[in-house]
Structure 1
Amino acid sequence: MRKKRARRSILTVAGIVAVIAIIIALLVVFSLNRSSDSKVDVEASSSDHGLVVGPDDAKHKVVIYEDFLCPYCGDFEAATRDDLAELAAEGKVQVDYRPFVLLNQAGPYSELATSAFAVVQEKSGDKVAKEFHDLLYENQPAETGPFPKAPELVDLAVEAGAEESAVKDGITKLAGKPWAEAATKAAADDGVQGTPTVILDGKQFQEGNTVEEYAANLVKKVS
């Protein structure tokens, strides 16, 4: 009798362990599927000084002036990227990302990254440039450094989908510097003095005391 009870207990425990293992496996698969599906695939196109996502006939037009070294831009990008991409895919908003060089006094990285963005956009197209744009923020250095060098940005460009042979020389030799200078001049001409600066439907958007509030309020406005 005791042996039968012990056997039943072992079988019960084994059954519970098996069920738990199945549940964990299902949760892992669900999590992986969710992660792979979470990034919205939205069409991108070039603007005069940046990159546009969303249709021309969208109800709301957003312009984001940004510096790839600006930590607030990084926080703002992380807080808005997925929502703005989804809203752009739904046709509710068009977003014009306009990187330029603001923090050049901190070192050469801002110019290097902006120049690299221009090279990737020219040589590999807008879709790859958008992915590169996002990767620059995901791998953003501290404002005080140490800063990635050109070879590291080439690696990011390749990760974004660029052919190394198409972008390596341009990134290394700052071939996009004239574009970066023109974008910086255009931002200054538009009265931009800090980053991120957001223009919503032709007017500067300033609702929020923190980056998180600023981002949430913008998404709410264009939803």
Structure 2
Amino acid sequence: MSKGKRDRTVKAREIIAQQQAAERRRKVTLWTSVAVVLVLFVAGLAGYTVMSRQDDGKLVTPAAAVDEGTAFALGSGPVTVDVYEDFMCPACGNFEQSSGGKLQDLAEAGTITLRIHPVSILDRFSNGTAYSTRSAGAAAAAAEAGKFLELHNVLYDNQPAENSDGLSNDKIVELAASVGLTSDTFVNAVKEGTYETWATDVTEKFSDRGYTSTPTIVVNGTTLTGPGDTVPTTELLTQTIEKAAG
């Protein structure tokens, strides 16, 4: 092979190699661009999904709520008694039967300010119906209608057992009607879950405050328990309130 022919062959190979390298670079650039577009698309889709969920689960804090929007107050006495409860909680039901009436009487008499905090820590015990969250949300809707205590009491009078489906929204509406709570605004709030995100939010605040179980009773900022970390008796509760009142 002559020198000139060898040079042309070498040159041709160089040109082919350059073209192949350019093609590889083009493919890498193309697939990189595709990957970037896909990443942006997925990120955008995720952002849209999050925003959609936020829109669907908008936090609506009831105007009637006190204590950073976590409770509903009864009375205006000098001693503040905070009661954190879950409507599915059997111990809360027992506490209401034994001490609830006494606390409500003290609030009405002007001895205490009773602040009831509905929380939802027991959703897992209602067979997937999220009864704790739904009932807490219904209580918030009742508070907006000026009938928090009425619904609170009738829900405990008809408390479902743990590991049941809880009360349906229709049953909650029916019980509410029995205590004079019949407005369309209330009914729609229960059925549409208007305050369910609020129920989740106040439960998170409950946890942030260091509380882990219900009922939790706090008198003038100090958690009150009975012997062996039990729920305080009515007698102990009354004595503590009297001492706090001076």
Report the TM range for the smaller structure's normalisation. 0.7 to 0.9
SS in 1 for 2:240: helix
Q: Which residue of 1 aligns with 2:118?
A: 99
Residues 86-132 of structure 1: CA deviation (Å, up to 9, x unaligned): 2122221111000111101112111111111112222x12xx11110
Correspondence 1:109-124 to 2 at 5 A = 109-122=131-144, 124=145
Q: Which residue of 1 aligns with 2:198?
A: 179
SS in 1 for 2:84: strand
Paired residues, number: 173
Give the alignment partner of residue 78 of structure 1, picking from 88, 94, 97. 97
Distance 1:186 1:116 in 2: 19
Shift of 1:146: 4.1
Q: Which residue of 1 aligns with 2:175?
A: 156
Give the alignment partner of residue 67 of structure 1, picking from 58, 67, 86. 86
Distance 2:110 2:187 in 1: 35
Distance 2:65 2:180 in 1: 17
Q: Which residue of 1 aligns with 2:56?
A: none
Correspondence 1:139-150 to 2 at 5 A = 139-150=158-169
Shift of 1:139: 0.5
What amino acid maps onto 1:112 in structure 2?
R
Give the alignment partner of residue 71 of structure 2, picking from 50, 74, 98. 50
What amino acid maps onto 1:69 in structure 2?
M
Over the residues paired in the alignment, what is the CA RMSD in angstroms?
A: 1.7
SS in 2 for 1:184: helix
What amino acid maps onto 1:197 in structure 2?
T
Contact kept in structure 2, 1:101 and 1:111, CA below 8 Å: yes
Shift of 1:142: 0.5
Distance 2:106 2:227 in 1: 20
Contact kept in structure 2, 1:208 and 1:217, CA below 8 Å: no
Q: Which residue of 2 aligns with 1:27?
A: none
Contact kept in structure 2, 1:80 and 1:219, CA below 8 Å: no
Shift of 1:143: 0.8
Distance 1:154 1:130 in 2: 15
Distance 1:170 1:90 in 2: 32
Shift of 1:81: 1.9
SS in 2 for 1:73: helix
Shift of 1:63: 0.6
Runs of 4+ in 1 over 3 A off after TM superposition: 208-211
Task: Choose 1 or 2 for highest CA Rg.
Answer: 2
Contact kept in structure 2, 1:102 and 1:184, CA below 8 Å: yes
Please list every run of 5 or more consecutive structure 2 residues that lacks an aligned counterpart in the other structure: 1-63
What amino acid maps onto 2:131 in structure 1?
Y
SS in 2 for 1:80: helix
Do the aligned partners of residues 169 and 89 (structure 1) sit closer, same or farther apart at CA in structure 2, a change above 3 Å counting? closer
Q: Which residue of 1 aligns with 2:156?
A: 137
SS in 2 for 1:96: strand
